[in-house]
Structure 1
């Protein structure tokens, strides 16, 4: 049954108005009437109706002119004309002007009721169609996904999201264009192949990633889904676009982080093994040099061996810095004071053709870092900047208090939001392209010539920053210079002064008993020999599991445990805990090529834990042992 409607009857014959009104009301319709055109139009304007039954001949206005007025004020109202003086020409004109129906008097009321119900049904269907189109348009236009419909590659439809995604003002700027203007030139052949496969029903991936190009030339990553759809008079290709640039960037960050972590593990392992070898080389060289009968030529050869070992030791320390496995001794520092103290050195280092500019925060927050390593960061960055400006330029060092918010932290692989101190080093040098920047912090990567650099400078900076809980980024363009930004967590504490280096003193000979646990035979034998030459009694074992038994069987008190950190069965920390359960208060000196997390937390030495970094010289070993035994460790 047709839903009842609101109906307006306009006829200059009051009897006809009443008759039609009574009949329609019997069928459930709400009816109003008027006996002239302007009165009817006034009622229609005040109260819109679903349908109007209009005599085509009225005393004040013609029915056709009234139809035009009704269409202007209420375009959804269906109009049925009735007349006693009809003609074919009038009927045709009425239909042309969008009247729904045309009845000639006299007519059966059933005819009028049927015509009205058809008019109301048409109006209902039209409204439903418009509502559906509005919902669909709202869905399409409001979608965060870009949508386009095209034949061949001509865009016939685009939504607002697609226009915004590619930097256009709105859909009209896209309609009529070739879809390939949205595709990066090097990707066009692949996209054409994908589109052809979709249109021909061939094999094609359900989703397809390619690089698109925005109106300003910026490249973005797009995920596209193509499918065949019906569009007006035939099939067309519907393409759904999703901007995945941010996702790709985060994936790249994660891959880079994982790659750097893997390289770091490799570098740390290599450095550890080399440190054992260098400990033996430098130690044996020092022992050999101390022999009084050594000839002068042999002494010079030994010195060359020691010098080479020292240079190699510097390289392994840089590898440890990159791998975040070096031992740090952090203090609360003011970065401004550190930078100011280095200015004379930096000016000599960069030369007269480079201007050094410092821009520091008036009240800079404090950071917790190893002062020597912080100086190493500034030094390495200054050297790198200097080498990027062979014709001279400007080196700028800036500091500032900054806040890294949650939005920034989410964009990075390993950054926490919060307060930081920014240390930025900028140059006006040659800059870097994207490929160079992708490898910037990798060890042994360098753009310098053979023999001009090790490729460890920025890798060292990267490792120190990460080990200190910080974050590092690089911004560069070819020909426009480079800025390295370092963010170190801000702490609420007063600065701690660096302890003055003690004056060298003549070491007294020892008489104590030392338990030495070292799994590397060459290092173990060297350490035992050096200690025994100084008067100590040494009980040396290779396996940490044997140490408790040696301690219990010893007929003399053991005054000091010297132990490696990383060993096959027990770590140095675990061994110390076990031995101290047998001999409370046992003093300990840790030695290692790098510090394991059992002794240091992320490479930061626990306060008060004596540690001797490999490679060490016999003199450094003896001083460390004496310091711990005398209560200074």
Structure 2
């Protein structure tokens, strides 16, 4: 039974209408204007409309999309009010005194409209739900099926004839089925290197066996696409002969591209770990050579006949240390001294040097970007990047040529990162170095950042230049992309993260070799040769040295209540425990103990990089000289220059 809400100020009129409608409808009488109760039709008079118009309009709006009708019982004086609200609040009006038959007709008409509105809305909602369900189902199916689908006819002689292919194939490959047939069939699209695999795949399916195959196809404009093809034979009524092949091909080009990049990244990471380990061992050996040579020079009289030989040993050891530093840079284990700088200013400071480096036959062009963002980089490493890239560009140019250096601000988005897994979305400063030299083949391009890989003649290069560039860029959470083709030159694009922090303050090192004053230094080093020479040098500088070859020995010395220690000088990576853990345990025994670490590389035992600038304690990089060790020890013991 429909519910009618009577909202009339006139009690006699309300009772009269209630009498006329009460037999057929459920009546809701609310003279105080309560609109919260559910109703199907509202009957009201002029005074109620004037008082409740806004609330009724809100009630009708809240009921949308359902139709909630209102019938106004009006007097001649209500005409202006009725016109103002007709269509918004009032749906129909009837003049008082109300005729019973007219009232019944108006009420039935409005309730019928409400019923039709409700039924229509129900059907629309039901149909919408069905369409949504169908759309969801079709979307799931579309996501599950492959990128291209096809049907081949298998002729009696075993030849395959294309019968049908999805439109997506034509959109990607730029060829219709008829055009593929005119070219000589599907085999004309397969890369020659993959034809044996593709033919074996087709032979198996035509012989009645389902098969899966990965192969490369060529589009009409020369692009290569990787396809993973799933093919199913369809037999004739006798079940003896294959008459059709139903197949679906998944385009895996992007996946193959990402897999290749991932393998290359893993390969570079493995080489980096190996390079870091080798550099660590060499740094220990070089430390002994350099320190022993310096110690001998300090202890022998001036103009000794062996002095010249010792100086040559030092020069050779320092050249070896430079090579080790390049290995550590590639492995991202070389300490740096980053500063906030403008890359334009850093490049301009080296232009004159680069011009002399590449020679007069090669033109050097410089295109600085406008309003360049700051970066946080070691200026010396910018010099390394520019020198190595320009040297490689010079060697790639035959005769006259051109090298272009350019900078700009760039924003890397998610779309770019999908094709370059080593990239991270964000704001970067781009440093580009391009040349018009001989270019590189894909095989060479895939190996250019490997340490010691070079295409130059023996004696013309170490193969560490580009490896050093790669390590520097990775050290600052940047990335590098190279574009090159034979005969088309090469372009190196280096992306360094935009820096948003405060400007760094450079700290100048002391110039003189500081001496000790009887301070007690506990030296912990698992390499005996390094331990012996460091102890000898520290004693020459005036320190008292307690030497330990293992962390357990150091702890045993420190546990003696009569032992006083001013400084712990410890290797970073040792058996039993690492330097940081040893330092924490020793500081528990000797609160306030000063710590100085030394190491041939700056990776933790777990492979996470530890940079000198980020370390909790001061850090001394091997190999070091007497000068650098003396300064580091003095700064650790006297941080304010005391």
**TM-score normalised per structure 1:** 0.73
Cα deviation per residue 1:41-72 (whole Å; 9 max; x = unaligned)? xxxxxxxxxxxxxxxxxxxxxxxxxxxxxxxx
Tell me if 1:319 matches 2:322. no
Task: Give the conservation status (yes or no) of the 8 Å contact 1:573–1:598.
Answer: no
Structure 1 residue 351, shift from structure 2 partner: 1.4
Question: 2:483 corresponds to which residue?
Answer: 475
Judged with a 3 Å threshold, the aligned counterparts in structure 2 of structure 1 residues 556 and 218 are, in CA distance, closer, same or farther, namely same
Judged with a 3 Å threshold, the aligned counterparts in structure 2 of structure 1 residues 518 and 143 are, in CA distance, closer, same or farther, namely closer
Tell me if 1:341 matches 2:349. yes
Question: 1:590 corresponds to which residue?
Answer: 597
Task: Give the conservation status (yes or no) of the 8 Å contact 2:146–2:250.
Answer: no
Map 1:105-120 to 2 at 5 A.
none
Cα deviation per residue 1:509-549 (whole Å; 9 max; x = unaligned)? 43211111111111111100000011110001011133233
Question: 2:315 corresponds to which residue?
Answer: 307
Cα deviation per residue 1:184-237 (whole Å; 9 max; x = unaligned)? 1122222112211221236x7x32111111112222211112222369997023
Structure 1 residue 370, shift from structure 2 partner: 2.4
Residue aligned with 2:306, SS: helix
Structure 1 residue 143, shift from structure 2 partner: 6.4
Map 1:528-543 to 2 at 5 A.
528-543=535-550
CA–CA distance in structure 1, aligned partners of residues 198 and 433 of structure 2: 43
Residue aligned with 1:174, SS: helix
Judged with a 3 Å threshold, the aligned counterparts in structure 2 of structure 1 residues 390 and 294 are, in CA distance, closer, same or farther, namely farther
Judged with a 3 Å threshold, the aligned counterparts in structure 2 of structure 1 residues 343 and 452 are, in CA distance, closer, same or farther, namely same
CA–CA distance in structure 2, aligned partners of residues 305 and 591 of structure 1: 23
CA–CA distance in structure 1, aligned partners of residues 348 and 616 of structure 2: 29
Tell me if 1:194 matches 2:197. no
Worse-superposed segment, 285-294 or 361-370: 285-294
Structure 1 residue 256, shift from structure 2 partner: 0.7
Residue aligned with 1:216, SS: coil
CA–CA distance in structure 2, aligned partners of residues 274 and 371 of structure 1: 26
Q: CA RMSD in A?
A: 2.6
CA–CA distance in structure 2, aligned partners of residues 566 and 402 of structure 1: 40
Judged with a 3 Å threshold, the aligned counterparts in structure 2 of structure 1 residues 143 and 586 are, in CA distance, closer, same or farther, namely closer
Task: Give the conservation status (yes or no) of the 8 Å contact 1:467–1:602.
Answer: no
CA–CA distance in structure 2, aligned partners of residues 389 and 215 of structure 1: 34
Question: 2:226 corresponds to which residue?
Answer: 221
Question: 2:215 corresponds to which residue?
Answer: 210
Residue aligned with 2:369, SS: coil
Cα deviation per residue 1:263-295 (whole Å; 9 max; x = unaligned)? 111111100011000100111111222343487
CA–CA distance in structure 2, aligned partners of residues 155 and 599 of structure 1: 57
Judged with a 3 Å threshold, the aligned counterparts in structure 2 of structure 1 residues 342 and 496 are, in CA distance, closer, same or farther, namely farther
Question: 1:360 corresponds to which residue?
Answer: 368
Structure 1 residue 314, shift from structure 2 partner: 0.9
Residue aligned with 1:349, SS: helix
CA–CA distance in structure 2, aligned partners of residues 455 and 484 of structure 1: 17
Question: 2:152 corresponds to which residue?
Answer: 149
CA–CA distance in structure 2, aligned partners of residues 150 and 311 of structure 1: 71
Judged with a 3 Å threshold, the aligned counterparts in structure 2 of structure 1 residues 150 and 426 are, in CA distance, closer, same or farther, namely farther
CA–CA distance in structure 1, aligned partners of residues 505 and 486 of structure 2: 41
Task: Give the conservation status (yes or no) of the 8 Å contact 2:521–2:569.
Answer: yes
Map 1:126-141 to 2 at 5 A.
none
Residue aligned with 2:498, SS: strand
Task: Give the conservation status (yes or no) of the 8 Å contact 1:573–1:599.
Answer: no
Query: Which of residues 174, 179, 192 in structure 2 aligns to 1:173?
Result: 179
Task: Give the conservation status (yes or no) of the 8 Å contact 2:513–2:627.
Answer: no
Tell me if 1:485 matches 2:490. no
Task: Give the conservation status (yes or no) of the 8 Å contact 1:257–1:413.
Answer: no
Task: Give the conservation status (yes or no) of the 8 Å contact 1:148–1:159.
Answer: no
Map 1:336-485 to 2 at 5 A.
336-485=344-493
CA–CA distance in structure 1, aligned partners of residues 606 and 298 of structure 2: 34
**TM-score normalised per structure 2:** 0.72
Structure 1 residue 599, shift from structure 2 partner: 11
CA–CA distance in structure 2, aligned partners of residues 395 and 239 of structure 1: 51
Judged with a 3 Å threshold, the aligned counterparts in structure 2 of structure 1 residues 556 and 341 are, in CA distance, closer, same or farther, namely same
Query: Which of residues 161, 181, 185 in structure 1 aligns to 2:168?
Result: 161
